[in-house]
Amino acid sequence: MIYKALYRKYRPRTFDEVKGQEHIVQTLKNIILNHKISHAYLFCGPRGVGKTSVAKIFASTLNCAHEQNLTKICDYCLTNSDTNFDIIEMDAASNNGVKEIRELRDKIQNQPANGKYKVYIIDEVHMLSKGAFNALLKTLEEPPAHAIFILATTDPQKIPLTILSRVQRYNFRKISLDVIITQLKNVLTKENIKFEDEALTYIARLAAGGLRDALSIADQALAYGNGKISLQDIIYAFGISSNNNLVFILNNLFLGKINDVLELFENLKNAGLDPYHFAAGLMAVLKDYLIFNKTFDPMLMELLNESDIETIVFDINYAFKSMDIIYKLNKDLIYSQTQFQLIELALIKMANSVENSNINTEQNAKNNIYQNLEHKGEKMPKNKLEDTVKIALEQTQEMLIEANDQMENTLEINNDILSQSEQFLDDEGLISTAEFSIDDISVNESKSFKLIPNYRIEYKNKKDYVDNLDEDFLVNLLNISNREILDKYKEKINILSQIHLDQHQRNFAEALKDARLYSAGEKFMLFGLKEDPSALKYLEDVSKISLFQNFVAQYFDDYKHIFLVSDLAKLKRAAKTITELFNTNQRPKPIILGDVEFDKHLTPTKMLFEELND
């Protein structure tokens, strides 16, 4: 038996079998049902998305009159669709002259043999010559009643405007990765072919939105793998890199291990690496990382999964710089004859960008020290400059393990009574079922700070913490709590412990996780005791530092008032009070929290040199 390629065997023959073009299918069905058949259609879109297949299905459906369902082809017409004399398929790439179009124009006057219409499908119509388009123009303008033209093209820009104005244009979309993967699974399962799920994801990436290409790639991988499809076979057969290799390269460039990167790249190159796929893979990894960094939604990532994200060690600044380098690399690869050398240079640039960033940071610190000395009117001998910097850095380390335990909070609250909704406290947190209008509260909070403390080092032995929140204020906070916000923030706190953060952000994330979030709203977060009271003490000390508030704004929508309660009995009494008020329709009037006050200009570097100058 002669083997038939998968893309030919599973080519759609009915509207129901068409995948990823639902908007086109529904429109064509409506045209048939409403009997509003136009004389000419133009199907545009990338290769392998179903333009010609849909054209043949549409033509066969129009000429089928054996079923009550007008949008479904009967079995007889389906069997004979490839030999139907009333459906003429023509390749414009090989029949692009005036002579061929004139012959078609002469034959178009003939009546259909069996069906109602004579349908002419002209594939790659943009390949017609200018004279051929002119010859076709008159026929499109005044066609016979029984003639329908379906033009298909991947390059509609090359079609004259006089042709475009006489046809109905339908734009076919690239097929999504999920649809391609699902269809591949269905086809391979029907064929009893063993496959790895991860391999199908790579096939879908290589197909670039074309289902026909995906089936062709699967056929080729099947031949290479001798009856089964594995990820390793896909990588070797098509010269692509695995997610692990791509993440390894980016991580080690960030860490400055350029030797390991170039050694791996040499091995990939010798194994048949495709330079375009490699550059596109690096770009895809960086894009997925940036998207996840901002959304924490793994469903938005195309290439990576959550386990891949956990292995990433580079930061967001490195990702942006690297994307600029790779973007330029992609453009240069098109015109270069030395593509692998360009890639190696780009990898070195990516590693060098990290080194330059570190050098600039150190140089800025040195310049600040020199400026401070000059400001005092002192001139430091050149041979002592290095000693001065060394002393300053040593002082920095000492100050990083200092924390100021003094904090003063003044809370002025005006409470009134309003109505509606319900809220209660359980073991996990506070639940709010509504959002309310808010009235009046002002919060004046001030705090002096030296430097950002290290949570694990400095706070591990601080076991005592007593909050200064009164019960009435807790009632007001519970009154403006929002369950939807609370659940979202709880989820984000859990996610923060799984992603790569810098040292300060990691301290913040660990402290948030070690405390328990009981209530949250648009402008506040209320944390209570979980197990270790040191988390509450740490959050109290950092809550007014700009670095912490910027961290909160980045991951929790905006700057937040951070309220802390260690007395859970007091919190439960407040929750019981608010519940009773709700049950009696005497809910307190919601309060309004003022803007979060913190020093937006005081950076760790400035705090260091203020300490040095004291």
List 445's β-bridge partners, or say none: 409
**What's residue 376's pLDDT?**
40
Q: Is it the case that residue 374 has pLDDT exceeding 50? A: no
Considering the domain 177-236 in this protein, what is its CATH number? 1.10.8.60
Q: CB-based contacts of 50: which residues, under 8 Å, 6+ apart?
A: 12, 18, 19, 20, 21, 172, 211, 212
Task: List the alpha helices (DSSP H) in 34-117.
Answer: 51-62, 75-79, 98-107
User: What tokens appear for 208 in the block?
Assistant: 């670039």
Cβ–Cβ under 8 Å, residues 49 and 209: yes
Q: In the prediction, which pLDDT does 10 show?
A: 94
Residue 238, Cβ neighbours under 10 Å: how many? 19
Distance CA 34, CA 270 (A): 60
**pLDDT confidence tier of residue 318, bands split at 50, 70 and 90:** very high
Which residue in 203, 170, 379 sits closest to 277, CA to CA?
Answer: 203
Q: Which pLDDT does position 395 carry in this prediction?
A: 43
Q: CA-CA distance, 317 to 361, in Å (whole number)?
A: 13
∠ CA 20-21-24, rounded to 5°? 170
Please give the average per-residue pLDDT across 302-315, as a whole number: 86
Q: Mean pLDDT across the stretch 20-24?
A: 94
| Location of structure tokens 């439960």 | 572
3-state helix, strand, coil in the chain (%, to 5): 55, 10, 35
Domain boundaries, the chain: 6-171, 177-236, 239-357, 471-612
Counted residue by residue, the chain has a size of 614
Are 236 and 267 spatial neighbours (Cβ–Cβ below 8 Å)?
Answer: no
SS (H, E, C) 420-432: CCCEEECCCCEEE
How high is the pLDDT of residue 402?
40
Q: What mean pLDDT, rounded, does the chain reach?
A: 79
**Token reading at 291:** 């998207």
User: Which residue in 133, 11, 124 sits closest to 60, CA to CA?
Assistant: 11
Please, how many CA atoms are within 13 Å of residue 35, restricted to the half-sphere of its CB? Answer: 1
pLDDT band at 380 (very low <50, low <70, confident <90, very high): very low
- What band does 459 get if pLDDT is binned at 50, 70 and 90? low
Query: Nearest Cα to 103, choosing from 81, 88, 87?
Result: 88
For residue 180, the tally of other CB atoms under 10 A from its CB is 26
* Residue 160 vs residue 450, higher pLDDT: 160
Residue 185: per-residue pLDDT: 95
CA–CA dist 332, 311 (Å, integer): 30
User: Average pLDDT, stretch 73-100?
Assistant: 85
Helix (H) or strand (E) segment spanning residue 143: none
The string of DSSP codes covering 427-452 is SS-EEE--------EEEEEE----SP
Which amino acid, residue 604?
A: P
Does residue 272 or residue 28 have the better pLDDT?
28
* Mean predicted confidence (pLDDT) in 327-351: 93
The number of angstroms, rounded, from the C-alpha of 541 to the middle of its chain's C-alpha atoms is: 35
Confidence of residue 493 (pLDDT cuts 50, 70, 90): confident
Residue 227 pLDDT greater than 90, yes or no: no
Q: What is the mean pLDDT of residues 309-313?
A: 88
Instruction: Band the pLDDT of 536: cuts 50, 70, 90.
Output: confident
Question: What's the mean pLDDT in 194-217?
Answer: 92
Fold assignment, 6-171? Rossmann fold (3.40.50)
d(CA 537, CA 532): 10
How would residue 183 be classed by pLDDT, with cut points 50, 70 and 90? very high
Integer Cα distance of 26 and 33 in angstroms: 11
**Host H or E run for residue 9:** helix 6-9
Give the whole-number percent of the chain exceeding pLDDT 70. Answer: 78
Q: C-alpha angle 370/374/377, rounded to 5°?
A: 150
Q: Is the pLDDT of residue 240 over 90?
A: no
What does DSSP assign to residue 83?
Answer: G
Give me the pLDDT at residue 179, please.
Answer: 93
Residue 450 phi/psi, 5-degree rounding, is -95, -70
Distance CA 571, CA 566 (A): 9
Q: How confident is the model at residue 442 (pLDDT cuts 50, 70, 90)?
A: very low
Q: What pLDDT score was predicted for residue 22?
A: 94
**Mean pLDDT throughout 153-166?**
93
Q: Which CATH class is domain 239-357?
A: mainly alpha
Give the chain's radius of gyration (CA, Å).
34
pLDDT in tens, 248-271: 999 999 998 999 999 999 999 998
C-alpha dihedral sign at 501, 503, 504, 510: positive
pLDDT value at 365 more than 90: no
Does the pLDDT at position 152 exceed 50? yes
- Asked if 528 and 516 count as a contact pair (C-beta separation under 8 A), the reply is yes
181 or 470, which is more confident: 181
Rounded to whole angstroms, what are the CA distances from 229 to 199, 217, 233, 362, 520?
7, 10, 7, 51, 50
pLDDT for res 306:
81
